[in-house]
Every structure is written in structure tokens, then in C-alpha cells.
Structure 1
């Protein structure tokens, strides 16, 4: 079906429609005459000034920190030490008089502190305005070991010197495991000694009460590792390859003997067998 239009103008309006007017492009002279370029220039100037003022502000803070007496090193705190006294930990480091906290070389301090064989790890950091904090992890001695002299040894087999002042820690003693390299701060390579250290370390981890009952660990060619307890004359045989299960057997049998009041009659306890404990 064809629709008729009354006027040609109607057809023109439908087909052609209104024409959009294109925006006029300003010439360079018109931009300069309107002053729009000055707005961009002022924005750039203000940005440069803001950056400059912020830089001066930071420089002022830095200068104040470097020269203010508020940041003089006034105190040193040590955390994490249970065996060593603060003075013993700090014996390898020294600080200049009126030294600023910002002048302390943290990595250098850590390196000098780590010369102490009792320290396993050291972290040094600044606590503004005037405190240097030292956080240490000490090595944990598990036994004395008999060599040319009586050393201490930690749970990693590292040889430790006697404490200053001759203080003792009441640790078990490891004997007759053979010669070993008696070098402070280094782990022993003697396999028998390392097995004895492992045995005591596992006891300490699994049952501290049981560990503190141990008087000494001896090595016998026939019986391997032999453990003696405080106030008990009988030995406990662990063999050449101590295992966690033997410690569990030891816990159970000692409790049973104590409960049955048969401890006084025991001659020895043999833990060397897989699923059997021999008590005589």
C-alpha cells in the first residue's frame, strides 16, 4: 500500500531530517586571543611549585632527624634471651658517645653479635626516637659432653663453651662416644655423639619431665646408647639406633613400674627390640 503526502516538504523532512552543525575549529590566533593557553601554563606552574614545596618539606624533616637531639641513641633493649645476660650478648659491640639512632648500621651490629656461639639468630631494629632493639634466638643446650674439657652441646650438635662465671645448667652428661672435633660454634661430626644428642633432644621435645630425670647417656659397644636416670641405679638400653618408639616405651614402663612399686627391684630395662621391652 502506498501512502501519499500532501506536500513535498513532508517528504523532505522525513528523508533528510535536521542537519547537525559541526563545531567550529579555533585558529591559533583565536586561542591566544581567548587566553586559554594561559590556563594550561598556570596549572603547570602550580604543579611545579607544589612538587618543589613538598621536596623542601621532606628535606626539612630529614635535616631535623639527622641533627635533632631527640634521636640520640639513649637505650638498648634485648629480648629473647633466657641463658645469656644482656652484658654478655653486647660484649662484641660498642657505640660512640652521642651516637644518633639513624647512624647505627644494623647489619654490622647483627654480624658482630652473631660471633657469640650461643646466638642462633639476631635481628636488630630501630625504635624511634631513641631506642635500639635487639631480638635474639639462643641455642638450646641439651647436654654436657666430655672431651678435653666439659663442653655443652645444643640440639643441633653445636659445641658451646662454658657459661661466664662458671654457671652450670644441670644438664645430662654424654660420655664414651669417642673423640670429636672440639671447635666452639661448629656442629660435631661424631655419629655416636650425634645419636646421643638426638636422643636427648627428642626426650626434651616429647616429655620434658622425663628429660630432666636423665643423669647421663653413655655409649657401650655391646648395648649401644645407655641411659641412666637420677636416683635410679639401673640402665636403660637403647642400642645403636635410638628411635621415638623407644622413648614412648620408656615412658610407659617407668609409669607401670612406679605404679606397681617395683622400681627398686629393677636391674635393667632393655628397649632394643621392636615390639618388646625386657625388664629384669
Structure 2
């Protein structure tokens, strides 16, 4: 008995009833997605109008970043690229992240490098505790942190954004960081007399010292900086009535030494 031939037209209804509707749905979905994408990437509603910042102490940085992003569509902005460009542009930021806040805000979260010393060259350079030059100031400005001296040969040329390292510099910067942390204790040690550290002498890295205003040398050596400097406020209070006669304070011995200007040389 001869076999019946298959009906070649059986696929027709399947194509019409299943494939075509699915294709129409896919094309409609694609068109909707394209339409939404075009709307959100061109609409004035999603243009950046406001820039907020966390961890940025100087608002001038924020104003400079605003010039690059205000008016840009928030979805067309590459926030990862903006974060990296901002970090490279401002070396005092060691970490930067950018987040979109719909419909029209950007949030910049920065972790800022904070200087611990100023260094006098053609201008004042500001250096953080890791040896990074984070900025500069004209020689007409008054330093707000200790001047690092005695390292002219090791730090002959400085550049903002560059990192400098050596054992001697590292030791001096460790001391500078501790002095900055203890600045309030030193300043308030003697009521009515606002003392501050005006310079840090690193000419001999094994015999570091710093100077309190107006001209009192404090010798700290090369170790145990924090424990030694913690003694200083109490010492200052005990000699407050004779401050004009003080030549130096030596914190290196187990029992600190206070030398007056008329103390005979040993």
C-alpha cells in the first residue's frame, strides 16, 4: 500500500500564527528600547544641573569640575572616566568615585591628601605624609604648616603631583604627621600663648628637631616620636614663666632636658 505524502503546507499556519507574532513583538520591543534610549540620552530633563561633593575641602575644585559636566546628559557621561580624570587632575585626591543621582545630579566622593609640611623653593610646595606634593602656594603666602628644612640636596626639584621617597624623608614626614596630630595640644599648652611648630630640621635624619615660635628648638632624635612629643605640653606648662629664656628642649633622654640661654655648654 502506497504511503501518503506529507502535506508541505503544514508549516504555513505555524509561521503565520507563531513566528510572525514573535518577530513583531521582538521588533516592537527593540523599537521601544531604542525610543527610551534616545529619550533619556537627549532629554533636557536628564541634563546635569547640580554637582555635590563629599570629602572635598576646597570648593574651588568643585567649581572646576562643574565646568566640565554641567549641561551634559547624565547617561552620556562616563562616571568611571570622570573619576579617573579628576584624580589625575587634582593630585591631592588619592581616591575619587562618581555616582549618578537621577534625574540631574552627580555626587563626587573624594578622599583628599592632606599636607603635613611646606617646602620652600621657587614657590612653597605642600607635601603629604606619603611624600606626594599635593599643591603649591606663592612665596607671599604665610605657611600654615611647618617648613621642612635641611633637605635641599635631596629635594632639589619638586613638582606638584610627583611622589618623593627616601629613608630620611620618610622619617621626617612621620614626625611631621605626629606634630600635626598633636598641634592642638601644643597650641593650648600655655593659656594666652598660641604656640605652633614653625619648622622641622631634617639635615641630620638621626637627630631630627623642630622649632616652636618664636625660636625654641625641640630635639626628638630618630625614634619614639609620639611618646616623646606627648610629654611636650606638660613641659611647656612648667616653663611657661621662663619661655623667653629657653634655648632648647631635649626630649631624647629618659628625663627630658630644658636648657636656658645661659646654660653653660657641655
> What's the TM-score once normalised by structure 2's chain length?
0.71
- Look up the SS of the partner of 1:264 in the other structure: helix
Q: Distance in 2 between matches of 1:98 and 1:242?
A: 54
Aligned to 1:201: 177
Change (3 A) 1:166 1:124: farther
3-state SS, counterpart of residue 267 of structure 1: strand
**Aligned residue in 1 for 2:216:** 234
Which of 244, 250, 253 is the matching residue for 2:235? 253
Q: Classify 1:84/1:196 alpha carbon distance in 2 versus 1 (closer, same or farther; 3 Å).
A: farther
Q: Which has the higher contact order (CA 8 A, sep 6+)?
A: 2
Which deviates more, 172-181 or 216-225?
216-225
From 49, 54, 57, the equivalent of 1:79 is 54
SS of residue in 1 equivalent to 2:96 = strand
Deviations 1:57-88 (A, max 9, x none): 98476565344331122222333222351356
- For the 8 Å contact 1:237–1:271, the answer to whether it is kept is yes
For the 8 Å contact 1:142–1:200, the answer to whether it is kept is yes
CA distance in 1: counterparts of 2:141 and 2:247, whole angstroms: 34
2:251 counterpart residue number: 271
Confirm whether residue 110 of structure 1 aligns to residue 83 of structure 2: yes
Equivalent position SS for 1:241: coil
Matched position secondary structure for 2:153: coil
Hey, what's the Cα distance between the residues in 2 that align with 1:166 and 1:126? 41
In 1, Cα distance between equivalents of 2:145 and 2:64: 22
- Aligned partner (choices 208, 220, 225) of residue 243 of structure 1: 225
Superposition RMSD in Å: 3.5
Alpha-carbon distance in structure 2 between the residues aligned to 1:139 and 1:65: 37
What is the CA–CA distance in structure 2 between the aligned matches of 1:107 and 1:68, rounded to whole Å?
Answer: 22
Distance in 1 separating the partners of 2:104 and 2:223: 54
- The answer for the alignment partner of 2:166 in structure 1 is 190
Q: Which runs of 5+ in 1 are unaligned?
A: 1-47
Deviation at residue 272 of structure 1 after TM alignment:
1.4
Q: Report the CA distance shift for 1:177/1:223 in structure 2 as closer, same or farther (over 3 A).
A: same
User: CA–CA distance in 2 between the matches of 1:196 and 1:183?
Assistant: 19
Conserved? CA contact 2:123–2:137, under 8 Å: no
Cα distance change of structure 1 residues 157 and 236 upon mapping to structure 2, 3 Å threshold: same
1:167–1:216 CA distance, 2 compared to 1 (3 A): closer
